[in-house]
Amino acid sequence: MDLGIKGKWALVCGASKGLGLGCAQALAAEGVNVVLVARGARDLDAAAQALQAETPGVTVLAVAADITTSEGRSAALSVAGGPGAAFDIVVNNAGGPPPGDFRAWDRDMWIKALDANMLTPIELIKATVDGMAQRGFGRIVNITSGAVKAPIDILGLSNGARSGLTGFVAGVARSPLAAQGVTVNNLLPGAFDTDRLKTTLAGAAEKTGQSVDAIADARRKNIPAKRFGTSEEFGAICAFLCSVHAGYITGQNVLADGGAYPGTF
């Protein structure tokens, strides 16, 4: 299927590895020019060079910056020709806050979680959607978490911040932007084989006294697909949501979890 987005410009956050990189790879494979943003310059440069080699027909740019800061956002948004004006696609993605017991979290930890997983995506949406609307095409995909639908007790910081973003998106996606060709959706990963999963498993192991391998095996057994997801298949879902074929999908929470969520709705 031709996704119809060749030549578009995409900003992909948290793109040096994991799910963010998977999204960047899938978009670049469809002919989309990508700006990769991440804090770690070394991993980011390596990812950008590899992706450019894999997709010589597109432009791959790297911005080593903390997207959760105003300075980092300014650096990222200025790359493709102005303060966010040239981006047709934005993939919002930031590392989740640490797991733990809510009794140990102070105000500063909550503010940090909100800055990274709620307020930063909102700022990037604000900076880009009007330009998208003027051109009649735009795609915002926010990588949140399956824990938005099925909260996990040790991920309370993430549960709270990402649920706040979900509520915001539910409103803005149904604003006049929807009639101007701009869609805003959330992509909710379940258990994918990433560094974030490893951190979560380690936190659960510490809390229960079990080994990480035992926790991982139990987690897999509770997933109907009996495995963890891959960044490649996650990226493919993201690329479709960014395509011309997904113009009638907006304000949705797309869950990719191998069937782990037990609910009907």
Q: What is the pLDDT along the chain (265 residues), one digit of tens a residue?
A: 999 999 999 999 999 999 999 999 999 999 999 999 999 999 999 999 999 999 999 999 999 999 999 999 999 999 865 545 589 999 999 988 888 899 999 999 999 999 999 999 999 999 999 999 999 999 999 999 999 999 989 889 999 999 999 999 999 999 999 999 999 999 999 999 998 788 878 888 988 999 999 999 999 999 999 999 999 999 999 999 999 999 999 999 999 999 999 999 8
Tokens of 244: 């011309």
| Residue 219: φ, ψ to 5° | -65, -45
Closest of 60, 41, 65 to residue 50, by C-alpha: 60
pLDDT at 173: 98
Q: Are 31 and 58 in contact (CB under 8 A)?
A: yes
pLDDT at 85: 57
Spatial separation of the C-alpha atoms in residues 227 and 217, rounded to whole Å: 9
Q: What is the pTM of this model?
A: 0.94
Q: In what order do the strands lie in the sheet with 182-189?
A: 60-64, 33-38, 9-13, 89-92, 138-143, 182-189, 253-256
Buried b (16+ CB within 10 A) or exposed e, 52-79: beebeebebbbbbbbbbeeebbebbbeb
Q: Which residues pair with 183 in a beta bridge?
A: 139
CA atoms within 13 A on the CB side of 133: 15
